[in-house]
Amino acid sequence: MKTWTDDLPQIPFAYRDLPEGGEWMTREEAASSLGIGELHLNALLMNTHRIAMVRTTTGRELAVTRASVEAEKQWRATASHWHKALRLLKDTLKAL
């Protein structure tokens, strides 16, 4: 069965260098901005890759892009309860 992702290029997930300016925030700031804990943010980062992760030039610190955090906030504000429950189910199955 063909899905909508079949024609997309297969690009492996990779950390990117930090964008210039204020286009990124720490994971703590992102969790605070979304109103969730860091454990929940880490689950979003690892299971769904909806929030884009970047690394500092030293490679020791990880951060997230502001645009992806804003997109997540928008989705949370507009998604129905059904879509939220479906996403939770999918994320749980991916984690197993």
82: in domain: yes
- The answer to whether the CB of 94 falls within 8 A of the CB of 86 is no
69 or 54: which leads in pLDDT = 69
Number of domains in the chain: 1
Q: For residue 72, give Cα distances in angstroms to 6, 75, 90.
A: 24, 5, 16
35: in domain: yes
3 or 13: which leads in pLDDT = 3
Hey, which of 54-58, 65-69, 82-86, 92-96 has the most confident mean pLDDT? 82-86
Instruction: Name the phi and psi angles at 23, rounded to 5.
Output: -85, 5
- In the structure encoding, which two tokens stand for residue 55, read together? 């690394």
50: in domain: yes
pTM greater than 0.95 (yes/no): no
58: in domain: yes
90: in domain: yes
Beta-bridged to residue 64, according to DSSP, are 25, 53
Q: For residue 10, give Cα distances in angstroms to 5, 6, 13, 49, 51.
A: 9, 9, 9, 14, 18
Query: Which domain covers residue 44, as residue numbers?
Result: 16-95
33 or 17: which leads in pLDDT = 33
Is the confidence at residue 38, as pLDDT, over 50?
Answer: yes
Mean pLDDT value of segment 21-40: 86
